Amino acid sequence: MKIALHLGVHLTDDTKVRTCLRANKRPLEAAGILVPRARSYLNLMRGAANQIVTGEEVPEFDSKLFSSVEVTEATQRIVFSAPGLLAKQHQALEGSLFYPSARARVSAFRHLLGGHEVEIFMALRNPASFVPALLQEMHATERAELLQTLVGAELRWSHLIAEIRETWPEAPITIWCDEDTPFIWHRLLRLISGYEPETEFEDSFAWFETVMVDGGPDKLAAYLNAMPPVDDGHRQQVISAFLEKFCDTDKLDIDFSLTGWDETQVDVISQLYEDDIDHIRTMDGVRLILP
């Protein structure tokens, strides 16, 4: 079985990949691609991974998982899309480490799914915006604990990616920057699903509601449906023009006050993130999707 593990990260996709692909359930299943609801597998997979981490065995896991998500004889590919597979949201950061429990969790999934052809997909986000967003979502006690150990200038996504590669070397990783998502969104849907639709994915333009106002997503969809782009470069030009006209800057504003960082620190962390992405681009077994 081919399996796509879309592991988030948290506060990037916000379930929009899974929601969009499930809106295209009929053509995907006709092509042998299953995109199950998270509730059909999330607790099952997390529970099994926790058992492996503590040294227990999980007999007949494949049959339990495939039965839970309703695999059929026609199913050739399954898309598991949930950042909660990697960790719960409040466990996404500790000190200078993203997802400190990732190595153990990924090792457990390798044990559970190692008999299948697995590919990992992950969006990364600038720590200068990821950390404030994460802090806003935390309870006061969790926030206080994190701030005691937080070292923003030492945060590197490459450490997480290296751990995953070392732990599961036969599973290739596809990475992209969350900041680039509007320009590569339709390509990501194709890559994660493994499906090449003749037309646009149904409801694919709903993602743009997160960054556009004044009916921008509907107008963008209407334009691209009336004048299909000749290639991805042309699509990006059209999307750039619509973002310039309809972008909702209020939705992009970030409150850094919870971090205690000043503007200089934010600039430094952002530059370090760009350098880190350049490093990730050179890593073996990693495909970086750029606009």
Which tens digit of pLDDT belongs to each residue from 121-168? 999 999 999 999 999 999 999 999 999 999 999 999 999 999 999 999
pLDDT at 250 over 80: no
Q: What pTM, to 2 d.p., does this model score?
A: 0.95
Kindly indicate the confidence band of residue 6, based on its pLDDT and cuts at 50, 70 and 90: very high
pLDDT at 286 over 70: yes
**Percent residues over pLDDT 90 in the chain:** 87
> How many residues comprise the chain?
291
Mean pLDDT of the chain: 95
Q: Compute the distance between CA of residue 86 and CA of residue 101 in angstroms, rounded to an integer.
A: 8
Write the CA distances from 56 to 60, 74, 111, integer angstroms: 13, 32, 12
What is the average per-residue pLDDT within 237-244? Answer: 92
Structure tokens at 239: 């999307």
Q: What is the model's pLDDT at position 74? A: 97
Q: What is the model's pLDDT at position 252? A: 73
Q: Compute the distance between CA of residue 204 and CA of residue 227 in angstroms, rounded to an integer.
A: 16
pLDDT at 21 over 80: yes
Give the three-class secondary structure for 21.
Answer: helix
Q: What is the model's pLDDT at position 194? A: 98
Q: Does domain 2-203+260-289 have CATH number 3.10.310?
A: no
Least confident of 1-5, 49-53, 216-220, 246-250: 246-250
Can you list the positions of beta strands (E) in the chain? Answer: 2-6, 33-34, 77-81, 93-94, 97-98, 117-124, 173-177, 286-289
Q: What is the model's pLDDT at position 251? A: 67
C-alpha radius of gyration, the chain, whole number: 19
DSSP 116-145: SEEEEEEEE--HHHHHHHHHHHS-HHHHHH
